Amino acid sequence: MKKRILVTGGTGYIGSHTVVELIENGFEVIIVDNLSNSKIEAINGIETITGIRPVFEKVDLCCKEEVDFIFNKYTDIEGVIHFAAFKAVGESVEFPMKYYYNNMNSLLNVLNAIQKSKNQISFVFSSSCAVYGNSDILPVSEDLPLGKPTSPYGNTKLFAEIILQDIVKQFENLKVIALRYFNPIGAHHSGFIGEAPLKTYNLIPILTETATGVRKEMYVFGNDYDTPDGTCLRDYIHVVDIAKAHIIALKRLIEENKISDYEYYNLGIGKGFSVLDIINTFEKVSGKKINFKIVDRRVGDVAEVYASTKLANEVLNWKAQLNLSEMLLSAWKWENEFRNY
């Protein structure tokens, strides 16, 4: 019998790509999402790619009763991949209470339901490099102590990891891997799913919308950082590479091929690209000229961060496969040809 996996936030960007990988690896998926920053049509893309339509339940994870209902309805859940969270750094600075309430309550309600279920649960948590704060040591490795995040969003990821590290010691039915993403970009090679936020935007959707003319120009927040060209430098990684890492992590937990009941790994390519690098590379792969404007720095941004991926490479036997040009070309294909809903 196929193992049943609950994916919170499964119609979102990384969630939908991970659902595809789960289905293609023989898992049965239940998606729960409140559609606050995604669309139900993502299910159509998943079905087109895999030939299987996953179960979908519209659920507000901040409502304890709704979460309990899901675990009572699907009593054979063996794994949870927890993506559900608000994720925009800038928005979190402006509306911190919104982020603390949503991101922490949703996690706590899921953990409470897991405790009551008594099932042995393999739990993969969607974390972030934001937990390291503004590290002076690069590349960022898992050996570094967790820092002071520069935004409420980052704080929620840090608090969540602290909670999970404490809870896993008390829950006999729980084992956890936290995956600390750097900057996911790109889209599925088919073009049927990609990044399609409703409210909050990251760099790449803004870039591609500028290329199509939906936006007249894009802003580059600061050009006076201590980086080669003065713009922020980040470790960008293809969303499909990240999705594949979730499958590896989940299988590691299910097969109990683990070092401890709580593990954590960086996911990146181990190299940084500046905002201007991204714009220049996109112009080359797309043939489009991008109209951009340099503006003041944005609160919450750090100058430079990129990963050491040695631990994930050696322990998980995972390594990012897709390069920056492939990331940006897939994002452009999604925006230009397929993002029609």
Catalytic residue among 99, 153, 265, 306: 153
DSSP 80-94: EEE--S---HHHHHH
Residue type, 310: K
DSSP character at residue 56: E
Phi, psi at 122, each rounded to 5°: -95, 120
Measured CA to CA, the distance from residue 234 to residue 238 in angstroms comes to 13
Measured CA to CA, the distance from residue 230 to residue 277 in angstroms comes to 11
Under a CB-based contact definition with an 8 Å cutoff, are residues 16 and 10 in contact? yes
DSSP character at residue 11: T
Is 201 annotated as catalytic?
Answer: no
Measured CA to CA, the distance from residue 304 to residue 139 in angstroms comes to 10
Residue 213 CB burial class (10 angstroms; 0-12, 13-18, ≥19): exposed
- Closest by CA position to 210, among listed 317, 125, 283: 283
Q: Is residue 327 classed as helix, strand or coil in its secondary structure?
A: helix
Q: Is residue 37 classed as helix, strand or coil in its secondary structure?
A: coil
Residues acting as catalytic residues = 153
